[in-house]
Amino acid sequence: MEKKYVGVQIQDAPPSYIKLDPNEKFVYITSTMNGLSYRIAAIISYPEKRNLSTPNIEDGRLLYKDNKLALLLHGSQSHKNAIYQTLLAKKLAQSGYWVIRIDFRGQGDSSDNYDPALGRTLDQDLEDMSTVYQTVSDRSLRELLYKTGKISLDVIVAHSRGSLAMFKFCLKLLATASPLPSHLINCAGRYDGKGLIERCTRLHPHWQTEGGFWANGPRNGEYKDFWIPLSETYSIASVCVPEFAAIPLNCSVMSCYGTCDHIVPVSAASRYAKLFEGRHSLELIENADHNYYGIEGDPNVLNLPIRRGRVNYSPLVVDLIMEYLKNK
């Protein structure tokens, strides 16, 4: 991994629109690269079940064993508390995981994109993940954040575009001989970049001649309009997904797709299953769309909660992920 300065700012009083559980902290993970400082907003969930180990030889404090971390990644025009992430963080912490869910730059409460003319490129997402990874690996920062010993990144759960960042980041770890997570969970990730170009053209017919398009997304507690330049979209559409097969076989993969996904074709599910054949588990959720909401007229046979007037399949997604990790 590239060397950079990283630090942590713990916010005792998070923004009023961010609600935390008693075992959570809101922090900014800071970094400086090329003379530019930036902040990645994150919520850290501390495990509610901790296995006591022997005292630390250096200072006598009790450390904990089985310190496994789960990193949660959002998709485009999204944020750290979107869809299933808050509930999943809670369930993971209850089962003994440390959990970090972050805002990529340009989204949520994190800093602006490095270059507005480029937008939120995939390379910038990977840089943000590298900063978080280094924070977890750095002993002094780990002591400040967790008051514990070594923590290993065991699980990454990513939604939509975040899945591409997850797989690309694992290739980056592999290239630098850094430890890889054991479990990769792909929630509605795109496989074919051509489909993204077609979707953008359908929604914004002149986006290529105009150099991009306007979108709406969460920013510092509000939903705002912001410009998506061509470079941002093409950084996602140009990803060569078959290269992900180089991720070592000891990384198991789970995919979870709604059968009524209106953004990513459900064929992506079978293509990922084939790519990771032999270490892949697939879950298809009937009547669920890209963000795991039910379609109009959904009979809600599972008696799931209603949110924004639609069946909310996020609790089912969380149950499927937790069952998968339990079995693994």
Digit-coded pLDDT (tens) for 42-101: 999 999 865 544 444 444 444 455 689 999 999 999 999 999 999 999 999 999 999 999
Q: Which pLDDT score is estimated for 287?
A: 97
Q: Which pLDDT score is estimated for 55?
A: 45
Residue 245 is given by DSSP the state: G
Query: What does the pLDDT average to over 232-249?
Result: 97
pLDDT at 265 over 90: yes
Q: Which two tokens stand for residue 96?
A: 């003994």
- From residue 47, how far is each of 192, 214, 261, 269 by CA, in Å? 37, 40, 33, 31
Mean pLDDT of the chain: 92
Q: Which pLDDT score is estimated for 67?
A: 87
Q: Which pLDDT score is estimated for 65?
A: 52
More confident residue, 310 or 140: 310
More confident residue, 317 or 308: 317
Fold entry, domain 5-327: Rossmann fold (3.40.50)
More confident residue, 9 or 234: 234
Q: Which pLDDT score is estimated for 295?
A: 94
> How many whole angstroms separate alpha carbon 286 and alpha carbon 272?
19
> How many whole angstroms separate alpha carbon 221 and alpha carbon 137?
30
> How many whole angstroms separate alpha carbon 65 and alpha carbon 54?
9
What are the domain boundaries of the chain?
5-327
Q: Which pLDDT score is estimated for 66?
A: 61
Q: Which residue has the tokens 């991720």?
A: 247
Q: Which pLDDT score is estimated for 52?
A: 46
Q: Which pLDDT score is estimated for 4?
A: 62
pLDDT at 132 over 80: yes
Asked if 144 and 151 count as a contact pair (C-beta separation under 8 A), the reply is no
The region of weakest confidence among 40-54, 229-243, 253-267 is 40-54
Residue 242 is given by DSSP the state: G
- From residue 231, how far is each of 123, 193, 201, 258 by CA, in Å? 11, 13, 15, 28
Question: Which amino acid does the sequence have at 162?
Answer: G
Q: Please report which confidence band the pLDDT of residue 144 belongs to, taking 50, 70 and 90 as the band edges.
A: confident
Q: Which pLDDT score is estimated for 49?
A: 63
Query: What does the pLDDT average to over 171-175?
Result: 97
